[in-house]
A = this chain, B = another copy of it.
Amino acid sequence: MKNVKHAQCTRCGRTVPAVPDLTACPCGGIFDIIYDYAYIKTALTKDVLARRQERSMWRCREFLPVEEDTVLPPLRVGWSPLYEAGELAKELGLRQLWVKDDGLNPTASLKDRASAMAVAKAREAGARVIACSSTGNAASSLAGNAAAAGLETYIFVPSRAPKGKVAQLMTFGATVVSVQGSYEDTFALSRAAISRWGWYNRNAAINPYLSEGKKTVSLEIMEQLGWVVPDYIAVSVGDGCTIAGVWKGLKDLYAVGFISRLPRLISAQAEGCCPLNRAVEAGEPWRPMEENTLADSIAVGVPRNADKALSAIRESGGLTVNVSDAEIMAAQKLLGRTCGVFGEPAGVAATAGVKKLAEQGKLPHDASVVSIVTGNGLKDVANAIAACGEPITIPGSMDRLLDAFAARGIAP
């Protein structure tokens, strides 16, 4: 890779070659991929980029840690739409607001960006099999992206995993091992199996390439905005890998001069599970928390990418905001009604956070904000049903319809 220098541990600073099957540092830290920005500057300009036809996360391959001859995985991940949300901005009292709908990825979440990167690196490593432990979007995105690339997957889930998510995995042909025990038991068995059979490891706690895949969301946002930097980018935070990726992409663009300043991040967590935000707010190391939120994709009491995530929030001069489940579900309806975007609870937590910060006066009225929706509402219809209320239910009669409208103050 001409554009990559090496990998460097975010904890102890040790540098190692960026081999495709790189895992965590012996010290326990996660590696960061270090680029040769001088080379990238010579290889890519904004004009060159503007003329490209490619519309996927692989559009700016110069910023990505893949070999020049790597055959990229087939599913079309990335280049999700960025909508200007004028009505929503007005309701929140903000100057400008955009919504990036990453629920439109092939398996319906931002995690596809990480999984597609894992598949590309697994191919480089010569692996036939990829494995991970997860109950959620990481698992389904890995299963889908690997299936399309002709790779086998072994997915370890705790037996409490929702049947719908297991069904999606099995539809993609994954071998699913449901472990009767805790998530820690599940993770331990997956680690033992990965070690025993030498499978390629797609666990965000270990694989340094995943956040490099996720950073493509920032590359896209900035190009879609015509390189005009917003004041804030808001993202929901669980494990920490996504916000770390968002920040990495921005720093990459800044390093090569594609943008002239850096936005501030908004880290939105659930009130019932906010170990990273609590650490930032208290200026202390993070400590585990219980996982009391219905936003399952960010219910992470022991975040695996805490180091990278905390650095990202702090370096950017970021804001933190913790939202209740009620605020999350209200944001789901708000986004749906004003933007036609249906996000899963974890996916709309960032929007809930932006609303809360705006109401608290912590966002200036002239602020411009991008809010990332990280997953599709169809992933979790049960919570939407609980939140949406009841429709008008009547027999098929115009008189009854008129009565019902009148009773509700509806004047068509």
Contact = CB atoms under 8 A, between A and B. Distances in A.
Interface of A: 55, 74-76, 79, 81, 83-84, 87, 101, 104, 106-108, 129, 143-150, 154, 157, 159, 163-164, 166-173, 175-181, 185-186, 188-189, 192-193, 196-197, 199, 332-333, 336-342, 376-379, 381, 384-385, 387-389, 391-398, 401, 404, 410, 412
A119 B74 CA distance: 33
A388 to B, nearest CB: 4
A180 B401 CA distance: 12
Nearest to A383: B167
A106 B146 CA distance: 24
Question: How many chain copies?
Answer: 2
Contacts of A389: 170
Given A106-B104, A332-B171, A384-B167, A342 B394 contact: no
Contacts of A181: 395-396
A186 B398 CA distance: 11
A392 B178 contact: yes
A159 to B, nearest CB: 6
Given A168-B342, A337-B147, A175 B376 contact: no
20 contacts: A74-B339, A144-B336, A147-B336, A163-B385, A164-B384, A166-B391, A170-B388, A173-B333, A173-B336, A175-B410, A176-B391, A180-B393, A180-B395, A181-B396, A185-B396, A189-B401, A196-B398, A197-B412, A376-B378, A378-B379
Contacts of A393: 159, 178, 180
B147 A108 contact: no
A167 B383 CA distance: 9
A385 to B, nearest CB: 4
B388 A179 contact: no
Contact of A186 (B173, B193, B336, B396): B396
Contacts of A157: 391
Contacts of A196: 398
A357 to B, nearest CB: 23
Given A106-B340, A163-B385, 7 more contacts: A55-B79, A101-B106, A154-B412, A168-B378, A177-B401, A193-B412, A378-B379
A188 B412 contact: no
Nearest to A185: B396
A379 B342 CA distance: 13
A2 to B, nearest CB: 28
* Residue from the set A81, A87, A177, A396 with the largest chain B CB neighbour count within 10 Å: A396
B391 A170 contact: yes
A395 B106 CA distance: 32
A173 B337 contact: yes
Given A108-B376, A379-B378, A396-B189, A388 B166 contact: yes
Contacts of A188: 396
